[in-house]
Structures are given as structure tokens and as C-alpha cells.
Structure 1
Amino acid sequence: MPVVSFSIPQIDTKSNNRSTTTTSSSSSSGFDLRSPLSTLRSTTTSYYHPSYCLSNSIDVDLVLSSSDEIPCWFAINKSKLFGHTDIFKSVGLEQLTPDHHLPLVQLGESRDVIELILTCSEADSIPDFTKIEFNVLVSALEAAADKYKLIHTEKICLLALGAYCTTNPVQVYTLAIHYNCKWLAEAASEHTLSLNINHPDYQDILTSEGYAPLMELHQYRISKAKQIIEAIMIPKTKESLKLSNFWINSSQRLVDRIDNPILNIDEIFKPELHLAIQELNPCLKSYSDLIDIRDQIRNECNHIRKRVDLSIITIPKTQIH
């Protein structure tokens, strides 16, 4: 699934006769990871993040390096972030330990993603998600949940994704299904009603487990709206005979016109109201009754379920947030 990617960077752990001197390090395309970190700050090939530099904390025991062309370094205390010291080995990342110096670990994430993960991990800090791009948020979620097992950060990222239900509903819905976040999947599904989820762009995003309940929702709304229209019967009395005869064909045209789950009843009814002006003239009461029928159908359609029924797929209850 293109939206959700789980790749662990392969780190070259061979020494390749690396020199421990600053001179030989700077002569190459990048610094030697075993060089003293005190000699590597604020250079053209790497720099410390202003909020995570060595001077900001007395208990720094690890430096993370971003995957950017010019790496950004984050000096942190690994126990505060991960809770235990073997997290990098558990995800296949090698922890390089220079002699008498801090370990420097190369991560596969960009500066923005690492910064977001670290901020979410701090108990007294919540990121300003209005300034964070959607793709950065998704990357942080994937890294926190799938690679580093940071449950608290995962939940914060999922909560922040709720703001993108209107702009990126299919992507948010797919992520919510993948991470077993029921409330987010339901919220995002409502904003897919105006979309053709069979379009190739969305088919490339949706997983099979997410597509089934979403398609069921779309088809259910269309089917239910048609049933509401077909259930309306107008008695053939003397006063309503003209409207009754008109409704026989009009109702069928309305049913045929319902082909998407957004159910804009006012738009669907417009051609019938224009036609009724001619066919029901001069009976103003019949025309007024037709408007009442439209309002009744609209009100009933407004109560049709707008969110997915996740009971048709298997999501472990213990994993639903």
C-alpha cells in the first residue's frame, strides 16, 4: 500500500579503515561516525538541532542523525525517549560507539519527522500541527508505530490526522484502518461520500480490508435513498390524481438519477420541479405537495448512515484506540 510504507534503512557498520582525526574526516564527503562529536558541530555537512544540542541537557547519551542531504543531529537521552536501550538493535539499526564519545545513530527519517517524534515524546510538549505538513505527519506516525514502537507518539499522530479528514479522507481512512483506529476511520469515511472510490488514484491507496466497508457504505446510502423514494405512494383521489399520475414517472426518474452516495436531494429534484410547473399547471396545491414530498425525502435521507460499519471487517478490540 503506497501510503503506508515500512522500510528500515540499512546502515553500513564496517569501519573501512576510518580515521579518528578531524582532518581526515572533513576531507571526505561526510564525517567519520567515530570522530569526536565535539569537533563536528555547526559544519557544512552536519549541524545540531537548536532544541537538541549538547548544551541543552546534562544527561545526553545519544545523538540521532537525520537522513537529509545535510544531516541534522539531535542530542537526546535515549531512556527518556524509548524507555530502554536496545531499541535500535531491535529495529535493525546499528549503534556506533566511538571511543570515549557519544554514540551516533543514523536514522532513515528527515529532520522534520524526527523533530515531530521527539516533540510528541516529551510529556510537557504538544506540537503545533497546523504548521506540520500531512506527509511529515504520516511519516512520523509510520516510524513511531511500526519502527520504534512509540505508542504515545502514535496516538498523538492519529489524533492529529483527524484534522485532515476533509482534505485527505481516503488517505486518513486507510491509515486509520491499518492502525486499528476506529473513531478516525469512521470520521474519515463520512468525507469520502463525494468521491468515486473506484477511481484509480483511490484504488492505489485503499487496502482490500478498508475498501470493503467503504464500498458497503456508499452502496448502502444509494440503495436506501432509492427505497425511500419508491416507498412514497400518492393516493389517486380527485384532488391528487394529477400529482399521482405525475409521480409515477417522476419517482422512477429520481431513482435513476441517484448514482452517488452524497445524496444531494435538492439537485436531484430540480428537473422534476421544472417539469411539474408545466404538467401540474394550474394546480398550485399539487406543486406545493410535490415540494413537501421533496422535503420529506431530503429529511429521511439525512438520517441514512454516513459512516462505515467496521463490524464487517475484523479489527481486534484490544487494538482499537
Structure 2
Amino acid sequence: MTILHQVDPIAFSLPAFELFGRQFHPQVHWYGIMYLIAFLSAWWLGRSRIRAGRLPGVDQTAFGDLLFYCMFGVVLGGRVGYVLFYAFGDFLADPTMLLRPWEGGMSFHGGLLGVLVAAWLWARQKGLHFFDVMDFGAPLVPLGLGFGRIGNWIGGELWGRTTDVSWAVVFPHSLPQPFWSMDGEALRAAHASGVLDAFARHPSQLYQAFLEGVALFALVWVYSMKPRARYAVSGMFAVGYGVFRFLVEFVREPDPQLGYLAFGWLTMGQILSVPLILLGVFLFWKSRTAPVLQPRIDAPAPAKGR
């Protein structure tokens, strides 16, 4: 028996108000809440790494500035990356779509580029080596990725390919047009009759939440607990994410405006993951002769005798 996905993407609604003669009905979506939780997890983990001296010379206040830079980088880069990689034709037809992120569309690879630029600007301002900052920040990212994929799951978007596995999920938004006009009760009746089983799909969002979130976090966090040569932790993150994303693309439905780009299976997500894997391998190679950044914890002042 398949599972019918019926989760309300709206967490709660705020009171309506009028502004400049227009009525507004603000709603808070679960996807936005997942973004907030992602940033809070990075803040909490980062503070623990600062206390452990994982980025010598940087205090909690400076780390807060870094996280603020990266928040803007991930949102701006994620939106621009989606438009350039996945919806460039739509952008040419309507450039204002870039300014409407609430309509959907964020790219991890674009968000990563945004974070890299933001971190580079911050590192340059502080006089730090860029990859010391990257090695510090890499373990903070995976949990946020996992929360983002949970947001995709709640929103019933970015689903997987059709399958007959026992845990397959029917996503209403993925159904053919005749089913679009059905209300919740009609969909539940159609699902109970087995009519919708042919459209059941892999819950690839949950696969990615586990691989890119839980598994990648465990891999990079444990690896970073021991002092490593510069570039190594960033290399582990790049290889780990690239491999996990490349593999999960085999069960994830490609973006409809792109489809498969070659061989009947190659997707844009896989193409964008290959350079990331190669970059990780290069960083591992470069780390062989790089210095090891040792944690530094300032010793407390000795107590005065009485």
C-alpha cells in the first residue's frame, strides 16, 4: 500500500491587515521555518566550535558576523543559482521572477557559491586564510541541508521517480491533470481504491535529508574533531555531498523544464555534482603539504591567592 502525501505546507497564518489600500494575509510556511532552524543549528554548532578554539583569533561576536554574511549568501546565491541553472529560459521571458523566491526555486550549488563569496569577503576583512574559514564552517552545513530537504518533503515538491517500492508516496502535485481538481476527501478515496498507486514515487526528499543531512553531518563532524591539515575538512564535505547528491539523483525526478540531459538518466544535479567531487579530491591532494590549524583556547587568568 502506498502513502498519500497530504501535509499542509502552511504552519500558521497571521492576522490579515490592510496596507496602502491592499489586503494582506501573511502566512508562515514550514519551508521558511526549516530555513530558520537550519541557521539556528549552524549558530549553535558554530558557537561550540568557537569555544573549542577551532578558528583561532575569532570570538563569538565575529562568528555572528560570519553567519550573518553567509545567511545572505545562501539565500541570494540559492535563488540566483536556481534561475541560472534550472530556469534561465523563464528568467529571460520574465526577469522579475528572480525577485519572487516564494514561488519556489532554490539551488544548493548556487547557495554554496553565495556562501563562498560571503565567507571570502568576511575572511578578507578579518585577515584570515579563506580555507581556514571553510574548514571551520563545513561541519555546520549538513544539518541545515537536512532541514531544507524536510521542508521540501512537507511542501510536497522535488519528489522522486515513480516506483513500486512498499514505501512509495503519492504526491498530489505530481498527479496528471484530471486529478488536480480533486479535494482532499476525493483524493483519499481515489488513493484507497488503488487508482493512484501507478503514480507513486520515491520520497527522495527524505533520502536526501538522511544522506545530505544526517550522514554527511556525522561524516564531516567526526572527521573534523581531530586537527586536520588545511583544505582537508572542506575536501571531505565536497566529496561527501557530491557523491551523495550524485547517487540520489538516480531516484529523483529531474526538473521538468530540463529533463534528462544525456543517456536517459543524467540530470543537471549530477552534472553540477561532478565538479564538486573533483574539487574535493583536489583539496585532499592539496592538504598533503598544508599546515595543520591547531585549536587554541585562551587559558583563564590564574586565581589570586588570599
- TM-score calculated relative to the size of structure 2: 0.23
Q: Which has the larger radius of gyration?
A: 1
* TM-score normalised by structure 1 residue count: 0.22
Higher relative contact order (CA 8 A, sep 6+): 2
